Structure 1
């Protein structure tokens, strides 16, 4: 019987320092040494909590590993429920995802890392570069994401021959478009810019394309080794099933995780499918994600999905970002409320105008009872709005 393999923390420095993990990542992809748990290199307390929960000294069990296809990485989810899960990703799943991405984009190329590499979207940038045999570059984010720093790093990548790729979250794209200048000029030169980590407002996507940026929206999660649906169409390795006309999304394919650490019977993984918890529908042959099932708002007996309301808001002039959620209400059960980030805080859009736009576009039930203007949304993970923090703020 083979010896049980250990799970070891892999501190991942921010920004350009993340490139230091490449040797360990190569070994893990090859099945050499222990499985790795990426943790934030400059967050000792957060890393300690993750290590205590997921890498507690116990080796991987037989259900968490396989000698013919070793678990390479255990990716901690962002813990929106307050309890992080460790997603068990074998090397084969990471490779299948990266290779399918390269086939979709037009072949292996040179990658620029612009997001944290302890999340699946960031570390997949490094995995793709390793498999392509190209040396990745990274953006200096020592003082946050800055368009000028992006431009400087992009120039190094663009100097190499061959396709050039990067991956961003919508907030980063919005900053590059808003700043213009060298950041936007270098962004236009990439053969593909993957957008993920959070839902991309259609207005932002259209603005990018109007500016000559080759954006590709992605849908996926840690459990699928990152994005597996690009611009609404599954990659050639991915299967997508929706229960009903609009219903829960299930995903299958070789990019799927093995399961969760310490959860051998997790209901999310059953019969070769991953039950995502998201709701979706097919629109003209493309997958449209309408939101998380557990984010659905029930107000006065009517189901309201937050994502269509957010899209309606971000299509209005003067709105940069929006997050919609339900808060307790004595009469309606839940009330629809929205946090809106204006393009110009000095001249924000009128909440009454925004409410009227949602009512005209969707329905009276979907219209926010209250709109709160913020300078920025609280975030978790690589770029997702922190709904729990917003619910505490707005409730």
Structure 2
């Protein structure tokens, strides 16, 4: 019987080959001990071993272990290379604790070209990225990286960083939606906006178009995904697996629509704010605010009068009342944040993923009846 062992993210590349062929244990990079131990019936297969278990808290904070098989990981890596133009050498700029970094390592193994790894112990620094790109460019062929928007924002703010990025054949952008303003700031860089999650072995829809073998549809306006990239389910949680993996489809928590045949993500289903009987999509308010600030997070706060109110935290210099005016003009009065405050930086729960529960805790103490809160 195979087992799940916890290892440090730095050890993943060394042990990944044995995990993929089943000769070694399944890997849990930096995850909680509660997810380790023998794999249960249905969680593994001799013909398609479970190679990696990714610990993800999602929006609830409850640890879940996503079971990813060899076939799911390799299918994603092969389809990514095909979409990008062929195998290449990668700059690993995100931690292999999460699926984005893990997939950079899987793609590197598949291409038989070791990645150039950035030391993230003291955070992401643009000079380190520039040095890694210079190193990877010494290898003939194609050259790639995977980033999150917060990293891209730092890179484009430094001329040397932008120049290094433009020398790559592709940069897969994950973690959060890429704003039009940030994409424009990247100028000549070959950016690919990826949508996906641990349950789909990383991004599986690039620039609105599914990777080869992946199917996408809407189920009650929620995005549903099928194909060889799907996880087996959740470790020791057959209830969650049955609820989310239905008849070969993974039902996400994201609302979407198709525009000119391409998938557009509108936000999370549970991020719809019902204020005074009017439904306000948090994602739409966020995207508008991010035209004027460095980052924004919009959440619902309980309120005795309105049921819920729109609340927002922003990073960057901006006039609070001016921001409210922009929202009122474009989205209407119900979408205007009744609580709107500036913070130094967004709390994160993963690469590029804002910790919305932490933002709620930050905003909750603010008096709702103080429209000028700042």
TM-score, normalised with respect to structure 2: 0.94
Matched residues, number: 362
**How far did 1:67 drift?**
1.2
Who is 1:264 aligned against?
Answer: 238
For 1:384 and 1:10, locate their aligned partners in 2 and report how far apart those are by CA, in whole Å: 23
Q: CA deviation at 1:331?
A: 1.1
Match in the other structure for 2:41: 62
User: Structure 1: which 5+ runs fail to align?
Assistant: 13-17, 40-46, 343-347
Q: Is the contact between residue 202 and residue 311 of structure 1 (CA under 8 Å) also seen in structure 2? A: no
Aligned to 1:156: 135
SS of 2:335's equivalent in the other structure is: coil
Q: Is the contact between residue 78 and residue 381 of structure 1 (CA under 8 Å) also seen in structure 2?
A: no
Kindly indicate whether residue 156 of structure 2 is the aligned counterpart of residue 190 of structure 1: no
Counterparts of 1:243 and 1:311, CA distance in 2 = 24
Structure 2 counterpart SS, 1:359: helix
Q: Distance in 2 between matches of 1:29 and 1:67?
A: 11
The answer to whether the Cα contact below 8 Å between 1:74 and 1:89 also exists between their aligned partners in 2 is yes
Out of 81, 90, 104, the residue aligned to residue 125 of structure 1 is: 104
Distance in 1 separating the partners of 2:126 and 2:57 = 26
Does the 8 A contact of 2:67 with 2:233 survive in 1? yes
- Residue 295 of structure 1: CA displacement? 1.7
CA-CA distance at 1:304 after TM superposition: 1.3
Q: Which residue of 2 aligns with 1:289?
A: 265
Partners in 1 of 2:196 and 2:327 — Cα distance? 28
1:77 is aligned to 2:56: yes
Counterparts of 2:233 and 2:151, CA distance in 1 = 31
Contact 2:12 2:96 in 1 (8 A): no
* Partner-residue secondary structure (3-state), 1:115: coil
Q: Offset of 1:168 from its aligned partner? A: 0.5
User: Which aligned segments of 4 or more residues in structure 1 are displaced greater than 3 angstroms?
Assistant: none
Q: Which of these residues, 14, 18, 25, is aligned with residue 34 of structure 1?
A: 25
| Residue 6 (structure 1) aligns with | 3
Instruction: For 1:159 and 1:307, locate their aligned partners in 2 and report how far apart those are by CA, in whole Å.
Output: 41
Alignment partner, residue 294 of structure 2: 320
Question: What residue in structure 1 maps to residue 90 of structure 2?
Answer: 111
Mapped pair 1:384 → 2:353 = yes
Q: Which has the larger displacement, 297-306 or 111-120?
A: 297-306
Question: 1:151, 1:103 → 2: CA distance?
Answer: 26
**C-alpha displacement at 1:139, in angstroms?**
1.1
Greater displacement, 90-99 / 354-363: 354-363
Deviation of 1:213 (Å): 1.4
Answering whether residue 190 of structure 2 is matched by residue 199 of structure 1, we say no
User: d(CA) in 2 for partners of 1:120 and 1:24?
Assistant: 16
Match of 1:86 in 2: 65
Looking at structure 2, the residues matched to 218 and 122 of structure 1 have their Cα atoms a distance apart, in angstroms, of 14
Gaps of 5+ in 2: 365-374
Deviation at 1:385, TM superposition (A): 0.8
Aligned-pair CA distance for 1:223: 0.2
Which range moved further: 138-147 or 89-98?
Answer: 138-147
How far the C-alpha of 1:359 sits from its partner, in A, is 1.7
Aligned counterpart in structure 1 of residue 307 of structure 2, from 324, 329, 333: 333
Distance 1:300 1:238 in 2: 40
Q: CA RMSD in A?
A: 1.2
In the other structure, the counterpart of 2:223 is 249
